[in-house]
Amino acid sequence: MTSRPARPPASARRMFASSVLASEALVVVLAALVAARLDLAPAAVAWGAGAALAVLCLLAAGLLRWPVGYVLGWVAQTALLVLSVRVPTMVILAVVFVLLWVGGLVLGTRVDRERAERGERERAVRLGS
């Protein structure tokens, strides 16, 4: 039986970003429900904007293998900030998700870089022995 080469670990940056976007999609739908029920926005506007933003978040999460996914992620963060102006309490959620998005990208990139450096050191040790 031949051993298969180990798969490289999944990108931490992609995992963090997809977690933020998936969570954001859920929170946006729940926020649309609250906005519609409390008449903070017309129901059609609240549901339309909430659904569109949730779909954008999920689409971005699905496309994170390519750079366009990260661009769409930034578009989603910007859209959430813009839409939160209509429902002032949403500003807090928007800021939290922007911070989570930036933190996920920064920390994920750092983890990926450290994994690559460790892999290079391990490869050098194996070749040197």
Q: List the domain boundaries for the chain.
A: 13-128
State the pTM of this model.
Answer: 0.88
Which tokens belong to 31? 């926020």
Give the C-alpha separation, 35 to 23, whole Å.
18
Model pLDDT for residues 85-125, shown as the tens digit of each residue = 877 788 999 999 999 999 999 999 999 999 999 999 999 88
**Nearest by Cα to 120 from 10, 15, 12, 8:** 8
Cα atoms in the 13 Å half-sphere on the side-chain side of 105: 15
Q: How far apart are CA 6 and CA 45, in angstroms?
A: 49
85 backbone dihedrals φ, ψ, rounded to 5°: -65, -35
State the pLDDT at residue 3: 67
pLDDT in tens, 71-83: 999 999 999 999 9
